[in-house]
Structure 1
Amino acid sequence: MLDSLEIALARQPIFDRADRLVAYELLYRDSARATAAVGADSTRMSSDTITRTLLGIGLARVTGGRRAYINVDRPMLLDGSIHVLDPQQVVIELLESVTCDDETLPACEALVAAGYTLALDDYVHDPANEPLLRLARIVKIDVLGRADDELRAALAQVRPFDVCCLAERVETAAARARCATLGFELFQGYFHARPELLAGREVPVQQGNLIRLMNVLRDAETSDAQVEEIFRGDITLAYKLLRIVNSAGSGRAGVESIGHAIRLLGRATLHRWLGLLLVSSFATATGVRAELVTGAMLRARFCELLAEAAGRRREGGALFMAGLFSMLDALMRVPMSEVVSRLELTTELREALLAREGPYGAALRVAEAYEIGAWDTVSSGAESLGVSLDLLPVLYVEALSWAQERASEAASAEPAERGAAA
């Protein structure tokens, strides 16, 4: 873990027409010099600060090997230090405030000559900016609240320049489908976290058993033998239990039975791992679903780390679950009220999941605000928790690394688990 970071850094995924994850836009702001009242302009850092921070963290650590869209304003563009970043790892996203003139055009030409990909952010066509449009390979168009005819006209204006069109602020599954029909090639926004909910949707058998197990584990009157019986009736879950024991480092002396594995782990640890299994079980081959699962794990670990930083270590496990389950409505495609009704949760967890209220609600609000770069909310929320704002970027990167490791473990285990179930 890094001891300090100069900027707060978050990310937002970008998908292609096949719902494959292709890149992340990086969202950032000054951490060390931040205040509770931050205007839009003060979120822009010097190119030198950003490049030194990104090089220190390592882009691959933030993006998992995908390309990173880096926001660049006029001073950053003319500064030139952005050239230290690998052109194969980044896309230079020129903010809408960058206009074509005698300084910006040569700077962009130099970037393209060096192998960088240019994207134009929040693009509104202006003939004066056509020289930049000819250099760009990606054009981002804000689609929120815009009618189909307006979007068709915007696409028609840029299509002659042979650019890839990215729809940004895509907030629902329906909006994503509409943009695909109109001809957009890339999609960015929170449609993956706000899907169309299906009333009365049945939970698949595997998820049903996991929920049943988690509820049984919370019941102090349930014996270990009753817990073991549920595992004995599901060979896939039994196999995963053994993998959990190995991952937890508890099985060095050898696991004699399912009951032995349960005792080695303990109920609290087992409940936590079952929660992770429940969330990861909803991942599919599409990048959207897999990214949502990784996002849930990231939020869970971030909430847990926030509890520790706030001196509330004993609440870390509960905050982990609050973060982890906060995306179950999107994964299960049912309202959160229905999710909560299926899980035997404490009153505090219910308050956090349903209304972002109660003792766990504040940390969950901070985590969600950080993910979307709502820095004003992050600042005030960190203050209410008693956590230093400077510490949040460090916690976020640590949580991100942890989530990526868990997602990688789940992906590598999937073929073996299918074999065990067969």
Structure 2
Amino acid sequence: MTDTASLDQASQPLQLRNFFLARQPLLDRNGALFGYELLFRNTSANEADIDSDLSASAGVLAHAAQLGLARAVGDAQAFLNVDTEVLMSDIFAFLPRERTVLELVGTVEASEPVLWRLAELTGHGFRFAAEASRHGSRLGQLLPLIDFVKVDLRAMPAATMLALVPRLRGTGKRLIAEKVESQAEYKTCLDLGFDYFQGFYFARPSVLTGRKLSPSQQALVELMNLVMSDVDNIDIERAIKRDMTLSINLLRIVNTPAAGLRQRIDSLSQALLVLGRRQLQRWLQIMLYAEPGTRGPGHTPLLMLASTRARLMELLAQRLRPGQRQVADIAFTVGITSLMDTLFCVPMADLAEQMGVSDEVADALLRRTGFFGELLRLAESFEQMEEGGDVLPALRELAASGDDLAELEMAAFEWSEQVVRYAL
């Protein structure tokens, strides 16, 4: 397998001891990516080493800002949590104000110094967000100085939300529905008039009986089966050429910078020769998430999540099992496959059976067990914003050092950003 984005060629690595980055997308009303909320989490078992994840993040943010937030968010907006101490600091000089939204945590009081500081930073082009239930009665004092109001679906009774949202809409602030975890919740919030939506509802499987693959998806699946069989390259090339759109899309995506190739691929025969079958299979797997029948802004988040997860698992496998190329290949495949139940709206057990995956891959996808299951569980835990979770146990079981996590995540984010940019 060709190494698609060597860490040696990546930007200067972040030297962030015992931290990883949780990154959760915010989507607009069309399902397109608007921004990411970023939160640095501590992986140390000794919580006494730091005052809190948030206060420790001030120094982390300073390092990240100097190296460029674009590595973590691409062209999207960055939502960064700040407390009063961080708010009063001077780290904002390093942040790109046109791409940064500072989210006030619940401990921020609407005191005169805080309001003065908000007004000062607003004058410099920064924007602010606050969550309604966490600030309660203070929200009214903060409203004139903030641009976004978040509403946590888990922290507010439905009746209260139904009464509050129309009043908030009347203020002209942009509303963000937070912790949206199902399509039903998304539809309700859409009807209420929310502007943006945060949560992993788009990645939740919704099993539809009788759903069939689109013609282009079916062609991709059949082609993947050919690639993994013993047929000659000429037979694979003929199969690709039967679908002109597939041929064009494949050549476009293998020429993305994410492929890490030093030469341009101009023909299908050249692609097969230069890439090899394992590498070709990965690009076909990615293309399933961006196939023409479903292409559009609504599919960008799922493609971004799947490609980031797969690349991160591959990098973790390379770090933990150096020199074992097949292990890294399998880790990528498990990561990219782990969201195909959502993509195809079929149970993962059915997918695993239809694809004829190995027992260790099936164990990872269905039970999160074994080496690849641990990698998948670790990657999934990085995506969540909640405190605690499975990060520490998974890190211990994998014997992975927290020193490398931010570096590997940033490399995965950058790689995925390149993939999505060229795949859609």
- Normalised-by-shorter TM-score class: 0.7 to 0.9
Q: How far apart are the structure 1 equivalents of 2:123 and 2:253? A: 50
Q: How far apart are the structure 2 equivalents of 1:37 and 1:48? A: 17
Structure-1 residue corresponding to 2:150: 140
Question: In percent, how many aligned pairs have the same letter?
Answer: 32
- Give the superposition deviation at 1:139: 1.0
Q: Which letter maps to 2:236?
A: V
Gap change, CA 1:233 and 1:50, over 3 Å in 2: same
Query: SS of the counterpart of 2:27?
Result: strand
Q: How far apart are the structure 1 equivalents of 2:41 and 2:308? A: 20
Q: How far apart are the structure 2 equivalents of 1:126 and 1:246? A: 51
Task: State yes or no: 1:386 paired with 2:396.
Answer: no
Query: SS of the counterpart of 1:4?
Result: coil
The question of whether the paired residues in 1 share the 8 Å contact of 2:15 and 2:407 is answered with yes
Structure-1 residue corresponding to 2:239: 230
> Out of 340, 345, 357, which is 1:333 matched to?
345
> Out of 3, 13, 21, which is 1:9 matched to?
21
TM (norm. structure 1) is 0.86
Query: Is there any run of 5+ residues in structure 1 with no aligned partner, and where?
Result: 412-422
Gap change, CA 1:83 and 1:56, over 3 Å in 2: closer
Q: How far apart are the structure 2 equivalents of 1:245 and 1:109? A: 48
Query: SS of the counterpart of 1:304?
Result: helix
Query: Is there any run of 5+ residues in structure 2 with no aligned partner, and where?
Result: 1-9
Structure-2 residue corresponding to 1:277: 287
> Out of 377, 392, 403, which is 1:365 matched to?
377
The question of whether the paired residues in 1 share the 8 Å contact of 2:22 and 2:41 is answered with no
Q: How far apart are the structure 1 equivalents of 2:247 and 2:48? A: 51
TM (norm. structure 2) is 0.86
The question of whether the paired residues in 1 share the 8 Å contact of 2:130 and 2:149 is answered with yes
Query: SS of the counterpart of 1:394?
Result: helix
Q: CA RMSD in A?
A: 2.9
Structure-1 residue corresponding to 2:300: 290
- Give the superposition deviation at 1:228: 4.0
Question: What does 1:8-407 align with in structure 2 at a 5 Å threshold?
Answer: 8-30=20-42, 34-35=44-45, 42-46=52-56, 48-124=58-134, 126-144=136-154, 146-156=156-166, 158-220=168-230, 222-240=231-249, 242-243=251-252, 249=261, 261-281=271-291, 284=294, 286-312=296-322, 313-314=324-325, 315-373=327-385, 376=388, 377-407=390-420
Query: SS of the counterpart of 1:15?
Result: strand
How many equivalent residue pairs?
406
Superposed CA deviations along residues 283-309 of structure 1, whole A, max 9, x for unmatched, are 855433112101111111100000011
The question of whether the paired residues in 1 share the 8 Å contact of 2:289 and 2:302 is answered with no
- Give the superposition deviation at 1:128: 4.4
- Give the superposition deviation at 1:12: 1.2
Query: SS of the counterpart of 1:329?
Result: helix
Relative contact order, higher structure (CA 8 A, sep 6+)? 2
Structure-1 residue corresponding to 2:5: none
Q: How far apart are the structure 2 equivalents of 1:254 and 1:183? A: 47
Query: SS of the counterpart of 2:128?
Result: strand
Q: How far apart are the structure 1 equivalents of 2:124 and 2:266? A: 56
Q: How far apart are the structure 1 equivalents of 2:196 and 2:295? A: 18
Superposed CA deviations along residues 18-70 of structure 1, whole A, max 9, x for unmatched, are 22322111121346xx3366899621135641442222331222211222111
- Give the superposition deviation at 1:361: 0.2
Query: SS of the counterpart of 1:141?
Result: strand
Gap change, CA 1:340 and 1:78, over 3 Å in 2: same
Q: How far apart are the structure 1 equivalents of 2:355 and 2:138? A: 58
Gap change, CA 1:342 and 1:132, over 3 Å in 2: same
